[in-house]
Chains A and B, each alone.
Chain A
Amino acid sequence: MNFLHLLARLATLDTEHTALTQAPRRAALSRLGQAGTALLPALLAGLATPAQAGQKEVRTRLDALKLILKLENLQNAFYSRALGLLPGGPANPATFFGSAATRDAIQTIQSQQQKHAALYGQLITNAGSALDASPNYDFTGSRNGTQPAVYPDVYTNPDTFLKVAQLLKDASVQTYKGQAAFLQSDNYLLETTVRAHSTEARHAAHIRTLRRQRGATVKSWVSATDTAITTAGSPQHAVYTTETNINQYVSLSGLVTRVPFDSTLPINVGTPALSASALLAKVAEAFDEPIESVTAESILQVFTY
């Protein structure tokens, strides 16, 4: 790449994302707070895959860790309330889930969630940065009664609870995926994060399995055949709008090239062969997509006040 072009590109990116690179962030005096560390990988990723606008974000490692912690804290609270470990959950947590197996699964998830939260909290404090104050949570989505509840029966109806769990888990997988890009310069943080990311994906699949066992039309992987659980226009809907993507880009001999799933790749191997639309639905299932930080934040905001 022409170096002047690179510099021009850097300047453009800085202009586009000033909101995410505010000076106060850097005042954390942490080695994690150095914006430049995340810039180059993010830039290259952006150039390699022009369709993914999210890759052009510029964030520090500290920004990434803090968003992950926010996500894990929120989910830890969500499951802890459901299990009666924190107030604000079901009237009778022991019977809320309907089966011991479901309750056990939720306990497994909560326990691992709590460990992720503790780990990321420690990573941030070890780096010399203070933790952000914990927000308040309202999992009905009413923001403490200031707006109509989106999920009024989240702790009285296990189907609603599992629906919110699926939303948060799918969003969590996408958020981790998005933030990993900003941690590439640190092997330990990157490996920790991809390992937490795949844990979240296991949880996501299992919540979906639980919902299917209760009669919902949903696969363990994100599919166009799933019954929608979000409505267009809501912040939550962003979790699923990107998951129908069938466009992946790779660099071949220096040229950005769209992978031809819809034409020449020999992927229609079933008997009978799938229709074009059914085949592309499988392509979309086979790739989980990232979400940008601002999208993740807006989803967390639905449950935060």
Chain B
Amino acid sequence: MAADILLPMHITSFLERTLRRRSFLRAAGATAASSALLLAGCGSDDDPTPTNTTASLTFSSNDNGLLNFAYLLEQIEATFYQKVVDAFPSDFTAEDKAAFIDLRDHEVIHREFLKFALGSNAYDRSLPGAIIFNFSSFTLTTRAGVYAAARTLEDLGVAAYNGAAKRIADAGYLALLSKLSSVEARHAAFVREQAQPGSFAGPDVISATDGLDVVKTPTEVAASLVSIVPLTLVVDGLTNLS
């Protein structure tokens, strides 16, 4: 059970439509299947009887699934940076602010790039609203907290792209994703250094044995997203790609 989701009554019709689209989504590279989906705009204060439901998002075992997974990661990063930019910590310097506006812009560009590349295959084309990400595991009111959160997300992004490379079939997509991944690594080095001086390429990310950067399978990446994404991410199909 990844998420307990309160579902306001007025969402029901959206859900019915969404569930009818399940077969379409499966073909499109990602499947949203659930007894409930968390929807944007469900800010109602109504308190219907809470029901425990499991919503899941299944990524298909192909390039579209991998691109959708990258798209989800970029959505998370863009949302995170927008949240920081909307309410900078009081101890942020002018330099911090400028850097975070850059970071926000880059991630929005990555997100929209991947969405465009996916076209009708984007997993959320047929969802009635955006997924609401949960950043409550981070402290976003202090400079230190924000940089630590950014470090976690950027290192995860680098690890995810490094893990995706050998699973991508299309050479063009491989080339495109590598254009994004090194920018993520630049971000990671920058925010790590701000979080802790001297840590830009620390032993927790760069192997002391061979100098290689962190790599994670889609399954490992999904496990790191449990607190952030209120849906169970089903990525075994991606991990099994080679």
Contact = CB atoms under 8 A, between A and B. Distances in A.
B176 A209 contact: no
Contacts of B170: 44, 48
A40 B169 CA distance: 12
B102 A194 contact: no
Interface of A: 40-42, 44-45, 48-49, 52, 55, 101, 104-105, 108-109, 111-116, 118-119, 173, 177, 180-181, 184, 187, 190-192, 194-206, 209, 219-221, 248-253, 259-261, 265-267, 269-270, 274, 282-283, 285-290
A285 B102 contact: yes
Interface stretch (B13-21, B26-34, B186-194): B186-194
Of B166, B171, B185, B205, chain A has the most CB atoms within 10 Å of the CB of B171
B200 A265 contact: no
A216 B114 CA distance: 33
Contacts of B117: 250, 252, 259
Contact of A48 (B172, B193, B197): B172
Contact of A108 (B158, B186, B201): B201
A119 B210 contact: yes
A266 B112 contact: yes
Contact of B108 (A55, A195, A269): A269
B211 A198 contact: no
Given A198-B161, A282-B106, A220 B116 contact: no
Interface of B: 82, 99, 101-102, 104-106, 108-110, 112-113, 116-117, 119, 158, 161-163, 165-166, 170-172, 174-176, 178-190, 193, 197-198, 200-201, 205-207, 209-215, 242
Contact of A190 (B165, B183, B206, B210): B165
Contacts of B158: 198
A73 to B, nearest CB: 14
A221 B180 contact: no
B106 A221 contact: yes
Contact of A204 (B186, B213, B215, B242): B186
B190 A205 contact: yes
A195 B215 CA distance: 7
Contact of B215 (A191, A201, A253, A274): A191
A286 B109 contact: yes
A210 to B, nearest CB: 9
Contacts of B116: 250, 259-260, 265
B105 A288 contact: no
Contact of B179 (A108, A190, A200, A287): A287
Of B82, B182, B189, chain A has the most CB atoms within 10 Å of the CB of B182
A202 B213 contact: yes
Contacts of B166: 187, 190-191
Contacts of B109: 261, 265, 267, 282-283, 286
Nearest to A206: B200
Given A116-B210, A206-B201, 12 more contacts: A112-B206, A190-B166, A198-B184, A201-B185, A202-B205, A204-B189, A205-B200, A248-B179, A267-B108, A269-B104, A286-B105, A286-B110
A184 B102 CA distance: 32
